Amino acid sequence: MSRQYFGTDGIRGTVGQAPITPDFVLRLAHAVGQVLRRTEERPTVLIGKDTRISGYMLESALESGFNSAGVDVVLLGPIPTPAVAYLTRAQRASLGVVISASHNPFADNGIKFFSAHGTKLPDAWEMDVEAMLERAPEWVESARLGRSRRLDDATGRYIEFCKSTFPNDLSLRGLRIVVDGAHGAAYQVAPKVFHELGAEVVSIGCSPDGLNINRDVGATHPQALVDAVRQHRADYGIALDGDADRLQMVDASGRLFNGDEILYLLVQDRLGQAGAKVAGAVGTLMTNMAVEVALKSQGVEFVRAKVGDRYVLEELDKRKWILGGEGSGHLLVLDKQTTGDGMVSALQVLSACLRSGKPLAAMLADLNLFPQTLINVRLRPGQDWKSNAAMAQTTQAVEAELGDSGRVLIRASGTEPLVRVMVEARDAALAQHCAQRIAATLAE
């Protein structure tokens, strides 16, 4: 049975269009509540949200749906996604719920869930919820309805957690840091975390109005951060996305560093600590090949997961490793946090730079990313790209030409009728030429 509602990271869509409507979200919460009550008499769920105006409406629908199933609700207000993961563990709650569409524009929204341990839930759990949605609601009697309350100082608790992941013997004093909150869930939290650790903080993207989340700021629009770092002559820039689970960083020169580079830096920092060992790291199908080559040359195994931080986490759990991530900036440091956390990841990078006495660029001097060319080919209605013999033949020829100095990745978009053709090679012109050859066979 395929999933009807859940995607790679919860349920997401345009507000007012199925399934992101208040009636469906109420039914969803009720179904989740029924699943929870199979194993727990009186479950408690935490609900956090980002700054989208639709969060008010969806929060009310979730609250009603859970209460109607006999589930107690704790409201956290606007708070980063990783904060919900942390607080779910800290409060010994049954489930954490986040209302957010992450890096999408304000007109979108979504619902995603964390287990009692603060981790993403498996496909089997999502299938249980979808099966429950097919059944008629079972409203509990009045005496068994759930209750709701707000958690006092949820943001303050999370700020202290973030600070606790930074070494006690280090300080950010003397550093000027630009923090871009993407007008999102971290707008209150992020500047305080870095300020309270000693930095002089310049804030941008920290004035949400319900409609401007991710608009021309944040991890998906890093030029605003680059410009601000140069303007304020800052030492570092930190950009988060709308729900603050991904990270992009900028150094004093205005150079932007992506998630692949940051993952490599985190591994190097661990290798440089006395007595520390790193058995391996996990990236995705999209991770730059240079990271894999560099890590393997140092005896660090590298494994690729499907695109999506939940799949990176699955591979890490399977191997009992702690470091993984995506080029988009979803980074996992499992001895610090159970899920991707932009602020915690940034603090690990800053502590690595302070320990080494080197800036970001110097720490990454031996990593030269392979040029990548990505071409999106729009499919015609009914087009079966997987059985395209010409494409398969051209792809095989390109792979033979690249050998061990490049690779090809072809995958369908999960949200649009597109096929993404990516070619990576040590030579940029070769990568572009090969990608165009493969894409042409699909477009013909």
Tell me the average pLDDT across 141-147.
97
Mean pLDDT of the chain: 95
Tell me the average pLDDT across 84-112.
97
Residue 110's closest CA among 8, 249, 13, 22? 13
Q: How confident is the model at residue 144 (pLDDT cuts 50, 70, 90)?
A: very high
Q: How confident is the model at residue 444 (pLDDT cuts 50, 70, 90)?
A: confident
User: What would you measure as the largest C-alpha separation in the chain, in angstroms?
Assistant: 71
C-alpha to C-alpha distances, 94 to 41, 118, 204, 376, nearest whole angstrom: 11, 10, 35, 41
Tell me the average pLDDT across 100-110.
95
Distance from C-alpha of 195 to C-alpha of 199, rounded to nearest angstrom: 5
Would you say residue 438 has pLDDT above 80? yes
Distance from C-alpha of 426 to C-alpha of 423, rounded to nearest angstrom: 10
180-200 pLDDT per residue, tens: 999 999 999 999 999 999 999
Tell me the average pLDDT across 13-33.
97
Catalytic (active site) residue 253? no
385-426 pLDDT per residue, tens: 998 899 999 999 999 999 988 999 998 876 678 899 999 999
CATH of region 259-363, choose from 3.40.120.10, 4.10.520.10, 1.10.8.350, 3.40.50.10540: 3.40.120.10
Fold of 372-443: TATA-Binding Protein (3.30.310)
CATH superfamily of 157-167+175-257: Alpha-D-Glucose-1,6-Bisphosphate, subunit A, domain 3 (3.40.120.10)
- Confidence (pLDDT) at 414: 66
Residue in the block written with tokens 């969806």: 58
Domain 11-152 belongs in CATH node 3.40.50.300: no
Residue type present at position 316: L
Distance from C-alpha of 34 to C-alpha of 70, rounded to nearest angstrom: 8
- Confidence (pLDDT) at 415: 62
Active site residue: 54, 100, 102, 345, which one? 102
Helix (H) or strand (E) segment spanning residue 231: helix 223-232
- Residues spanned by CATH 3.30.310.50 within the chain? 372-443
- Confidence (pLDDT) at 1: 55
280-291 pLDDT per residue, tens: 999 999 999 999
- Residues spanned by CATH 3.40.120.10 within the chain? 11-152, 157-167+175-257, 259-363
Pairing of strands 176-180, 200-204: parallel
